[in-house]
Amino acid sequence: MLGKTANGLFWLFRYLERAENTARLIETGQRIALTRMGDSAAEWRSVLQSAGVWPAFEAAKGEVTKEAAINWLLRDRGNSSSVYSCICSARQNARLVRTALTGDMWEAINSAYMNAQDNLSRQVAERDLPGCLRTLRQNTSLVRGMTHGTMLRGERYDFARLGTFLERADNTARILDVKYYVLLPTARAVGSALDNVQWETILRSVAARGGFRMEYGADSGPRDITHFLILDQRLPRSLAFCAAQLQENLRSLNAGNAHPSDAMRKLDYINRKYLAHEVDAIFEYGLHEYITEIIALLADLAQEIEREYRFYE
């Protein structure tokens, strides 16, 4: 397949994943605002940070208000990571690699785009926000479903998956990076109302609230949350889960070669150094340092994939 096509598929799925993650962050922020625990402006600021768009927002808009933050995250074309921008970019990439998509996939992407155009071209009223976000989630899920159901399992599928899981791992890591301090074991009494809200925020941001309570019980705290989000292979948004998926697709791409690819070596390093320990070891190492390093290594891995598979000349 063409290097350009691999590139297009990779980014198509990165953008779709990013659109969905950002939509989820908006939902979480809105939820917190509604429960009126804590400082709303600070919460929105941390949502913007988790989405990786804080510096751009600050430069463009300055003061944080709920409306400004939601608008920036949801539909501002000046923000290349807004949900709307992501959907547009995903569709642009889909047009570029049209021949690598099944008709069903293309139609699902195109209809997600047309819906986004209808719903996001104007400011979204607060009462319409939940419905709007639900539609977005359903649209991106339809693309994922069509991909799962109709795409040949081969190189093309592998690049689509690599884009998805690199973006997702990066997203989860960034949420942890912004909120790591609420997970640190401190002398402060744990389980205060504020802490509970913060933990809740993190779990909601990765759509993992229900599963967590079920698996870790009512008394679980920050140590368990950290374990869940980083090391639990069962959670589809955990770093360990994403790494396992990346490994599978990199292996499949490298099938037939006697030696592991450079990208596989890099991923293997991440696995061995960062994902093969107990959660206590992570705290001992320093949660913040740990997360910062993982984010850098994931970016490096993405670059290695671009280079190795000739995305560009």
Would you tell me which residues interact with another protein (CB under 8 A)? 1-6, 92, 95-96, 98-99, 103, 106-107, 110-111, 114, 155, 253, 309-310, 313
Cα separation, 29 vs 224, in Å, equals 23
Cα separation, 237 vs 243, in Å, equals 10
Tokens describing residue 16: 């779709």
Residue 214 makes CB contacts below 8 A (sequence gap 6+) with none
Local structure of residue 310 (DSSP, 8 states): T
- Least distance CB 13 / another protein (angstroms): 16
Our CB check for another protein shows the closer of 117 and 196 to be 117
Identity of the amino acid at 229: L
- Least distance CB 170 / another protein (angstroms): 22
Tokens describing residue 239: 């770093």
Cα separation, 151 vs 100, in Å, equals 9
- Least distance CB 303 / another protein (angstroms): 15
Rg of the chain (C-alpha set): 19
Beta strands in 64-209 (DSSP E): none
CB 17 within 8 A of CB 174: no
- Least distance CB 312 / another protein (angstroms): 9
Residue 298's alpha-carbon distances to 137, 183, 237, in angstroms, are 25, 22, 15
CB 75 within 8 A of CB 67: no
Residues, the chain:
313
CB 32 within 8 A of CB 149: no
- Least distance CB 88 / another protein (angstroms): 11
